[in-house]
Structure 1
Amino acid sequence: MRVLGIETSCDESAVALWDGGVRACRTQSQIPMHAVFGGVVPELASREHLRVLPALVEQTLAEAGLGAADVDLIAVTRGPGLLGALLVGVAFAKAMAVAVDRPILGIDHLQAHLMAAFVDQDPVFPAVGLLVSGGHTALYAMHDVDRMELLGRTLDDAAGEAFDKIAKLLNLPYPGGAYLDALAQRGSVSRPFLPRPFLDNDHCDFSFSGLKTAAGIWIRDHGISPLEYSTFDATAVPAAVCDLCAEVNQAVVDTLVEKTRRALVRFPEARALVVAGGVAANTAVRAACAALACEYGLAFFVPPLAYCGDNGAMVAFLGHLLGTRGYRHDLSFEAIPRGRRIPHDVLRTSS
């Protein structure tokens, strides 16, 4: 099945073609545009998707040596994400589906991230899935590709959001999570000095806003001056800042591992641990989760670095998996913003 995947949930315009594997994959980043503001501006993101998406689809199809009529299914991210950005992708996909008379399938962005861990290998179920990104942090019981049960989610800031906001306090380049990770590897911490957030409970939900606040207080109390953004040089960053980055990293890792451990207890039939999302590219997160999987005797899956962030391949791949099981949408399905649960309104044409 040839599946065209379209992703416009936030600030990456991405398109991919799946045909027994990723045959073509293109991403247009908006980082330079949003870096001026230190974060994603939703209105600008939507306008940029509208500007680049038609050419991106055309280029992806050309790279695969196909025309629009050669596609068997169009898969598009329907949410969660920024509503304006999602609407651009969904509207484009619907128009294309009508134009070439092909079926369409709205894709859950979070489940697509999790399935990206299997893009080059056979999926293993049941599994516990940890999704960690700039906009989302959640734990799932992955029973099958079409049955994923939410075990816990962030109640405020996501882990990646906390990384980026703390990086912004230090005046690190945008997006700051990757820079914070790089500096963390240059730092060391002899004893914890930041909280491990939201662990004084017995559930799998997350909350990282308190970590951001604690880091801000530490920066203020220790007189840490903002780094010089325009001439940023990791080798010249003060040791105290590197140590703070290492502590922030470790606080997030400790929290993720503890909550994931709880999920494994609640879902003992799991045969694998899946970690996905943009923060799955974080060095310490990958290492700690791999060690946790080994501790429980589980197979460990994480996407290739190229597929950790938002990308079209994960949308096309999940579209392929669901499409071959007969799942489709009619043209009435809606884009779903962050904060609303994706409705189960999919149609099934065959078993």
Structure 2
Amino acid sequence: MLVLGIESSCDETALALVDEGRPLASVLASQADIHALFGGVVPELASREHYRYMGPLFDELMRRAGVGPQAIDLVCASRGPGLLGSLLVGVGFAKALALGLGVPFLGIDHLHAHLLAAGIDNELTFPSLGLLVSGGHTHIYRMEAPWRFITLGRTLDDAAGEAFDKAAKLAGLPYPGGAQLDRLARTGEPGALALPRPYLDNDNLDFSFSGLKTAAALWLEKSCPESWPRPLPSPEAAPKALRDFCAAFNKAVVDTLCAKTERALRRNPDIRTLVLAGGAAANSLLRERAAELMRAHGGRCLVPPPRLCTDNAVMTAYAGWLLGKEGYFHDLAMETIPRGRKIPEDMLCAPEA
């Protein structure tokens, strides 16, 4: 089964082909340089860029794969959550293509696809625990099957990746700042300042990072040395105070994520696999601590390679393949779901032949 995946949930326009579960070809156009001018993603600009890139990228994907559109057996697109205008461009293109080719269409939960991407290079076993850490979402799932995810916890306000990016912006780091903060954190001393571990004094699995972001902003306002250049001309110019701040903030977020993950593992003793995914899963300290946590629980931690942690279409096509080979599909009236709304379980399933 040759599956086309389309990803346009935020500011990356991406298309990929997966053949029997193995990536065949992929293309991606990033909008990072455009949105860097504004310090964050501008939704209207993002949707216009998706519209501009989508057709040429499809043609380039076919050229790289060496196949024609008629070879495609299933067309998939991220249906949400994400920026509504951006999602509509990808979903609209996918529906039109599926209709024109006479093949099934499938809308993919963008968050689930991030976690399922760990199965491209590893064997996924179920049930597993899924920790999704991205710029817009922080969720803990019990993964029963590729088509069944049970939400155990979620962020009540800022996501962990968003907290990283906002703290980096406050500290004067260039957009997108999460990766820069992680890089500087490796050379700092986390004990140099005290930051809270937010929302742990409870018995649930939800997250809240807004208080940590506020604590970081207050510290920067009161304690930022005058010798600390803002904005920072380059990461190499970072003074020790900035490196220490990055290390302290990084550790506070990771400590919080790992504390809730360990709590989830204790409540699900049958689980021996943790799947860590999302853009912030590329954070070096989080990857190390998650692996240590699972070794302590006698299990394993699976993480997609860094290129598949950020938004990409390979994960969309792979998730589509997992679902499509079981007969799942959507009709063309499927609704696109923006961020903040729950994605319905409305897939249809073709009867077995």
Change (3 A) 1:192 1:204: farther
Task: Look up the equivalent residue of 1:187 and give its one-letter code.
Answer: G
Distance 1:231 1:194 in 2: 26
1:19 pairs with 2:15: no
Contact persistence 1:325–1:350 (CA under 8 A): no
Give the structure 1 partner of residue 333 of structure 2.
Answer: 332
1:72-221 map, 5 Å = 72-190=73-191, 193-221=194-222
Instruction: State the SS of the aligned residue for 1:340.
Output: coil
Residue 272 of structure 2 is matched in structure 1 by 271
Task: Quote how far apart the aligned CAs of 1:224 are.
Answer: 4.0
Q: Report what 2:233 is aligned to.
A: 231
Q: Which secondary structure state, in structure 2, belongs to the residue aligned with residue 149 of structure 1?
A: strand
Which residue type is aligned with residue 89 of structure 2? V
What TM-score comes out, normalization by structure 2 length? 0.97
CA distance in 2, matches of 1:231, 1:291: 36
Moved more, 294-303 or 191-200: 191-200
* Contact 2:193 2:245 survives alignment (8 Å): no
Output one character per residue of 1:119-174: Cα deviation in whole Å (capped at 9) or x when no partner.
12321111000000001000000111111100000011000000000111112110
Match of residue 344 from structure 1: 345
Deviation of the 1:231 alpha carbon: 2.8
- Residues 230/292 of structure 1: CA separation in 2 closer, same or farther (3 Å cut): closer
Alignment-derived partner of residue 42 in structure 2 = 41
Deviation at 1:25, TM superposition (A): 1.1
Within 2, Cα distance between the matches of 1:350 and 1:115?
24
Give the secondary-structure state (helix, strand or coil) at the position aligned to 2:205.
coil
| SS of structure 1 residue aligned to 2:125 | coil
AA aligned opposite 1:24: A
Match of 1:304 in 2: 305
Q: 2:26, 2:313 within 8 Å by CA — same for their partners in 1?
A: yes
Counterpart CA distance in 2 for 1:250 and 1:3 is: 40
- Structure 1 residue 118: Cα displacement: 1.1
Cα displacement (A) at 1:205: 0.5
Q: d(CA) in 2 for partners of 1:72 and 1:290?
A: 37
How big is the shift at 1:192?
5.5
Q: Which amino acid aligns with 1:209?
A: S
1:7/1:224 Cα in 2 relative to 1: closer, same or farther (>3 Å)?
farther
C-alpha distance in structure 1 between counterparts of 2:16 and 2:71, whole Å: 14
**Matching residue of 2:3:** 3
Question: Is contact 1:124-1:271 (8 Å) kept?
Answer: no
Bigger drift between 235-244 and 251-260 goes to: 235-244
Q: Deviations over 1:168-223 (max 9, x none)?
A: 11121100000000110110123660000111111010111111100000001113
Contact kept in structure 1, 2:172 and 2:232, CA below 8 Å: no
Per-residue displacement from partner, 1:40-78 (whole Å, max 9, x unpaired)?
A: 000000000010011111111211111111100001000
Structure 2 match to 1:222: 223
**Superposition deviation, residue 101 in structure 1:** 1.1
Aligned counterparts of 1:243 and 1:191: Cα–Cα separation in 2: 6
Q: Which amino acid aligns with 2:2?
A: R
Does the CA contact (< 8 Å) of 1:126 and 1:144 recur in 2? yes
Q: Distance in 1 between matches of 2:233 and 2:253?
A: 28
> What letter corresponds to residue 173 of structure 1 in structure 2?
P
Change (3 A) 1:239 1:192: closer
In 2, distance between residues paired with 1:28 and 1:150? 31
Change (3 A) 1:242 1:230: closer
Calculate percent identity across the aligned residue pairs.
55
One-letter amino acid of the counterpart of residue 319, structure 1 = G
- The one-letter amino acid of 1:287's match is E
Provide the C-alpha distance between the structure 1 equivalents of 2:26 and 2:231, rounded to a whole number of angstroms.
Answer: 32
* Letter paired with 2:70: A
Given that residues 78 and 109 in structure 2 are in contact (C-alpha distance below 8 angstroms), is that contact kept between their aligned partners in structure 1? Answer: yes
SS in 2 for 1:195: coil
Moved over 6 A (4+): none
RMSD of aligned C-alpha atoms? 1.2
User: Mind listing any 5+ residue stretches in structure 1 that lack a counterpart?
Assistant: none
Contact 1:138–1:152 (Cα < 8 Å) also in 2: yes
Q: CA deviation at 1:229?
A: 4.2
In 2, distance between residues paired with 1:193 and 1:210?
13
Partner-residue secondary structure (3-state), 1:231: coil
Structure 2 distance, partners of 1:127, 1:101, is: 36
Change (3 A) 1:295 1:230: closer
Residue identity in the other structure for 2:128: A
Match of 1:66 in 2: 67
